[in-house]
Structure 1
Amino acid sequence: RGRPNDRSGNQRGPGVEKPERHFGTRARGSQWGGVARRGAHNASIDNGAPRPEPEPLAPPSGRSEDKWERERQQPKKVRSKRANNSVPVLELDLKYVQHLPKAERDRFVRRVNQAGDHFLEERFGEVEQILKPLVKKYRRVAELHELYGLTLYRLGRWGDALEQLQIFTDSTGDLTQLPVMADCHRALGRLDLVRKLWDELRMAGPEASVITEGRIVMAGALADVGDIAGGIRLLEQGPVKVKRARDHHVRLWYALADLYERAGDHQRARRGFQRIEQVEPDFADVSGRLASLS
């Protein structure tokens, strides 16, 4: 199953970015990010070779496996004021713009929140138009580089996305966008760099959702080069059997079911898609996949 191309001929990645880190729980992974956003090809992950070392089975204490957000202290954050409080809003650290005149600071916050609105509506061209000049003018605001990098990722501009996300990672020490960076390398055919980031993730032991996204990307990269059996092994080592399914669990199930189908194991593939349908009936193209396997 191929990876769809954008207009420039680049392959699209699985969409492992997590906008809910900015916009709240309404921006669910199955709706705004994760393997489901990009369809069946996202499950075509890793053929995965065995890991050189055992992977931590649980996130460090004090961190929720259900959240993918920064744990470090933030001096000050500003939320935009909106009439409709149900609309997710972007949280922005204003540490590096506090010295600006109030009018300029307010304009900055307003523009960033407009970019957030466009991102949630998948108007990524508009997001880029807003963020490109802001990133140049306010280089020290890490969140700008993060959101701009995710936008470029969604536009299929892998190299540019990597540059922005690397700035964010270097300036914050936050590893939560490593799966997105790995998927950019995957789209560029750099299996060695995908594996390098996957190893870094495993050694760091981040939240379960982060490492699961990294696992999916690594498995997809392996499957891209024909190692479907390895991808299945890698995914099977993840949190497949859970009592309470989170978004990242469902994405893992989808990836695994897709690889089962590609490997010709239609019985396991059907069971995997059925499991997803039971907890998330509208997830990606699960209904169609089941119909094709019946």
Structure 2
Amino acid sequence: MVARLIDEDPEGAYGYSKVALRLASRVAAVREAAGFAAYANQKYSEALSEFRAARRMTGSVDLWPVMADCERGLGRPEKALDMAGAPEVHKLDKAGQVEMRLVAAGARRDMGQLDAAIVTLQSPELASSSVQPWTPRLRYAYADALLAAGRETEAREWFAKAVESDRDGSTDASDRLAELDGVDFVDALDESESDNEEESDEGGRQG
């Protein structure tokens, strides 16, 4: 239920995670699920505690990036950067390493180090033309960092690349690109309803 609800109803997922903890707090998967439910509700201290517990039980480093992001959420970007340079990072798979890079870049931005954030994201994974599960988010983060640094032309280029790779719509890259291009979207349904209201008003006045 936590996995089913966490995207659309994070509060509901959090409630189920609390029930699961009462029933099976010694199960690593339960602690991990509770961590993600707390994380989705921005309860970063609680999430970090649960992730640490899960890591102690399994010995796995897979949660290292999200643990570092919890440190960011707690206002400790320096700690997140320390974790980005820890030996555990070398034990992560490629997806985990990319995630760690995203967290580290975010920590740099938290500290006002925009140029350092941009450099942190520059990597073989970013330069690759191959589309992987992490590609849209990596390109999006790079575009966003460029835009924050005032490099609008380059940002537009990378938002466009993010759109090309984002087949599932996991980011709002298309909206950001349209915004840079000065395109305004009008909701056709709202426009239709507005027209109907105007016709109704006219009919009422004529009557």
Rounded to whole Å, the distance in 2 between the matches of 1:238 and 1:176 is 21
Q: For structure 1, which runs of at least 5 residues remain unmatched after alignment? A: 1-113
Identity %: 27
Per mean C-alpha deviation after superposition, the further-off stretch among 236-245 and 188-197 is 236-245
The code of the aligned residue for 2:171 comes to A
Question: In the alignment, is the contact (CA less than 8 A) between 1:257 and 1:273 conserved in 2?
Answer: yes
Q: How large is the RMSD of aligned CA atoms in angstroms?
A: 1.8
**Distance in 2 between the 1:219 and 1:238 partners?**
15
Relative to structure 1, the CA distance from residue 224 to residue 271 in structure 2 (aligned partners, 3 Å threshold; closer, same or farther) is same
2:147 is aligned with 1:261: yes
Residue 227 of structure 1 is aligned with which of 73, 91, 113? 113
Structure with bigger RCO (C-alpha 8 Å, 6+ apart): 1
Partner secondary structure for residue 284 of structure 1: coil
**Partner in structure 1 of residue 11 of structure 2:** 125
C-alpha distance in 1 between matches for 2:79 and 2:124: 21
Q: Pick the aligned partner of 1:183 from 60, 69, 78.
A: 69
Partner of 1:164: 50
SS class of match (1:247): coil
Could you tell me which amino acid in structure 1 is paired with residue 125 of structure 2? P
Please, what TM-score do these two structures have when normalized by structure 2? 0.80
Summarize deviations over 1:175-212 as a string: whole Å, max 9, x none: 11111111111011112210122122665331111011
Partners of 1:116 and 1:255 lie apart in 2 by 25
Residue 244 of structure 1: aligned partner: 130
Q: Which has the higher helix share?
A: 2
- Choose which of 175, 178, 191 in structure 2 pairs with 1:291: 178
Question: Which has the larger Rg?
Answer: 2
Q: Which amino acid aligns with 2:82?
A: K
**SS in structure 2 of the partner of residue 252 of structure 1:** helix
Alpha-carbon distance between aligned partners in 2 of 1:116 and 1:202, rounded to the nearest angstrom: 26
Q: Measure, in 2, the Cα distance between the counterparts of 1:279 and 1:117.
A: 25
Give the 4+ runs in structure 1 shifted more than 6 A. Answer: none
> C-alpha separation between the residues in 1 aligned to 2:84 and 2:162?
25
Query: Could you say which residue in structure 2 is the equivalent of 1:154?
Result: 40
